[in-house]
Amino acid sequence: MNLVLIRHGKSVWNLENKFTGWYDIELAPEGIIEAEKAASFLADNELKLDVCFTSYLQRANKTLEIILNHMPVKMVKDIEINKSWKLNERHYGALQGLNKDDTKNKYGEQKFFEWRRSYNIPPPILDEDSSMNPKKDPIYENENIDELPLTECLKDTYERVVPYWTSEIKPLILEKDVMIAAHGNSLRALCKFLFDIGDDDIVNLEIPTGNPLLINLDKSCKILSARYLDSSRAENLPKI
């Protein structure tokens, strides 16, 4: 059974070295090219997709759209697409929109590392009155706004991604090939679960943009093998 995970292509704020989180920034031209290349790798590996899952954020949506538009029709025919905020990037709280280097210089290396990489320390909370408060965003108008965060650590992201995986995605894996087009931290959270990565070790997991990660699973959804399709941009994966 095949599962493909892909982090969206580089966004404008990735290139500007800003904390993005739930801010709905668009893909950069480089990110569009990454998505087009991802489609080629999927096609070359003859991966027919049946169901796709993505977040509410346009950088992931656009990445998925580009991939599907650049794959042979026979490989994506009658594909089902599901969106959920549970697959959104980690919410970076009051750090959203700030330059990472400036933040590190202001608060110091240790605090910067804790906010950016620790498993259970969230950044400062976003002000309720901020224009970036998701409760003010119409794309979440049909959601339970009390569930929408104003900051998250990776542990918080894990606690929304993994239940969504268990209830919505895992049941389909048994009969369909699935792709999840999401974000660095929502995919890190899922990989933490699938690869059984410890709290201290998850800080070392890097997920490259726009590079499909093909995971082969058995019937109990245990990993049999995993590899990045673009080996030239592959990051090290945990031992299976």
Give pLDDT tens digits for 89-132. 999 999 999 999 999 999 999 999 999 999 999 999 999 999 99
Q: Is the residue at 203 inside a domain? A: yes
Q: Is the residue at 220 inside a domain? A: no
Mean pLDDT, the chain, rounded, equals 96
Q: What is the pLDDT at residue 75? A: 87
Whether the Cβ atoms of residue 50 and residue 176 lie closer than 8 Å to each other: yes
- Name the pTM for this structure: 0.96
Whether the Cβ atoms of residue 187 and residue 88 lie closer than 8 Å to each other: no
Q: What residues are labeled active site?
A: 8, 89
Whether the Cβ atoms of residue 95 and residue 115 lie closer than 8 Å to each other: yes
Contacts of 173 (CB under 8 A, 6+ apart): 1, 3, 217, 221
Q: Is the residue at 228 inside a domain? A: no
Q: Is the residue at 171 inside a domain? A: yes
Lowest model confidence (mean pLDDT) among 142-146, 202-206, 236-240: 236-240
Q: Is the residue at 145 inside a domain? A: yes
For 18, the domain range is 9-185+195-208
Taking CA atoms, 116 is separated from 37, 91, 111, 187, in Å, by 29, 11, 8, 15
Task: Work out how many domains the chain is built from and give that number.
Answer: 1
Phi and psi angles of residue 226, each rounded to the nearest 5 degrees, phi first: -155, 135
Q: What is the pLDDT at residue 238? A: 83
Q: Is the residue at 217 inside a domain? A: no
Give pLDDT tens digits for 173-230. 988 999 999 999 999 999 999 999 999 999 999 999 999 999 999 999 999 999 999 9
What does the block give as tokens for 26? 């668009």
pLDDT beyond 90 at 68: yes
pLDDT beyond 80 at 54: yes
Rounded CA separation 166/187 (Å) = 14
Average pLDDT over every residue of 80-97: 98
Q: What is the pLDDT at residue 174? A: 87
pLDDT beyond 90 at 240: no
Rounded CA separation 88/84 (Å) = 7
Average pLDDT over every residue of 17-27: 97
What does the block give as tokens for 168? 């919505």
